[in-house]
């Protein structure tokens, strides 16, 4: 076989493998884990003998279905920020189906006057760890933010 034919044959093989690899990568990119969207947080400070609250809501979607969402509020001044492994100890949100592959998740916690007095004032973030039924996970250290007034 002439050298030119071998070179062209080899280049064709490389192009074919690259195309197959790109296809496999694109297929893999679609199933990277759950997606957290429409995240919002509402903080109500306690006052006049009434407790306050912190409520976080988000939509979580994954093609395999949603297993759950863990939520952790943390002051921006904290260093370092929480990581995905630490989220295993965070509290779960209540998730309700909102379609075949989507859930609407809500996390609410009471904030007492004592809690508010002990909490750092200023900017806070909400970190979330979403998990899918197929084992996929997605971590967002700053899914939403709010301010605790002082």
Sheet containing strand 137-148, edge to edge, reads 91-92, 66-75, 122-132, 137-148
Q: CATH classification of 35-148, choosing from 2.60.120.1060, 3.20.20.10, 3.40.50.2020, 2.60.40.10?
A: 2.60.40.10
Domain range annotation of the chain: 1-30, 35-148
Cα–Cα distance between 149 and 107 in angstroms, integer?
Answer: 21
For the full predicted model, state whether its pTM sits above 0.85. no
Contacts of 126 (CB under 8 A, 6+ apart): 39, 41, 56, 71, 72, 73, 74, 142, 143, 144, 145, 146
* CA atoms of 6 and 131, how far apart (whole Å): 49
CA 65 to chain centre: 15
Peptide bond into 147 cis (omega under 30): no
Please compute, for residue 129, the number of CA atoms within 13 A of its CA located in the half-sphere on the CB side.
16
Per-residue pLDDT of the chain (150 residues; tens, 9 = 90+): 444 443 333 333 333 334 444 434 344 444 578 999 999 999 999 998 899 999 999 999 999 999 999 999 999 999 888 999 999 899 999 999 998 899 999 999 999 999 999 999 999 999 999 999 999 999 999 999 999 987
């Amino acid at each position: 076989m002439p050298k030119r034919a071998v070179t062209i044959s080899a280049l064709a093989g490389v192009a074919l493998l690259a195309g197959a690899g790109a296809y496999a990568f694109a297929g893999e990119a679609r199933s990277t884990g759950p997606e957290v969207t429409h995240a919002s947080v509402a903080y109500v400070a306690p006052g006049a003998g009434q407790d306050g609250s912190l409520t976080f809501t988000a939509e979580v979607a994954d093609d395999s279905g949603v297993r759950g969402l863990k939520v952790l509020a943390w002051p921006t001044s904290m260093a370092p920020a929480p990581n995905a492994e630490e989220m295993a100890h965070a509290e779960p949100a209540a998730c309700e189906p909102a379609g075949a592959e989507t859930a609407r998740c809500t996390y609410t916690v009471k904030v007492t006057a004592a809690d508010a007095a002990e909490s750092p004032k200023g900017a806070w973030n909400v970190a979330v760890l979403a998990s899918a039924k197929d084992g996929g996970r997605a971590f967002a250290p700053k899914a939403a933010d709010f301010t605790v007034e002082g």
